[in-house]
Chain A
Amino acid sequence: TQLLEQSPQFLSIQEGENLTVYCNSSSVFSSLQWYRQEPGEGPVLLVTVVTGGEVKKLKRLTFQFGDARKDSSLHITAAQTGDTGLYLCAGVTGGFKTIFGAGTRLFVKA
Chain B
Amino acid sequence: ETGVTQTPRHLVMGMTNKKSLKCEQHLGHNAMYWYKQSAKKPLELMFVYSLEERVENNSVPSRFSPECPNSSHLFLHLHTLQPEDSALYLCASSQERGLGYEQFFGPGTRLTVL
Contacts and interface: CB of A to CB of B under 8 A. Distances in A.
B105 A100 contact: no
B45 A97 contact: yes
Interface residues of B, number: 28
Interface in B44-95: 45, 48, 50, 55-56, 90, 92, 94
A9 B56 contact: no
B103 A98 contact: yes
Nearest to A5: B42
Contacts, number: 62
A35 to B, nearest CB: 8
Interface stretch (A11-19, A43-51, A74-82): A43-51
A31 B100 contact: yes
A38 to B, nearest CB: 10
Contacts of A4: 42
A42 B90 contact: yes
Interface of B: 2, 4, 31, 33, 35, 40-43, 45, 48, 50, 55-56, 90, 92, 94, 97, 99-108
Given A42-B108, A96-B55, 11 more contacts: A31-B99, A41-B108, A42-B2, A42-B90, A42-B105, A44-B2, A45-B104, A49-B100, A95-B55, A95-B97, A96-B50
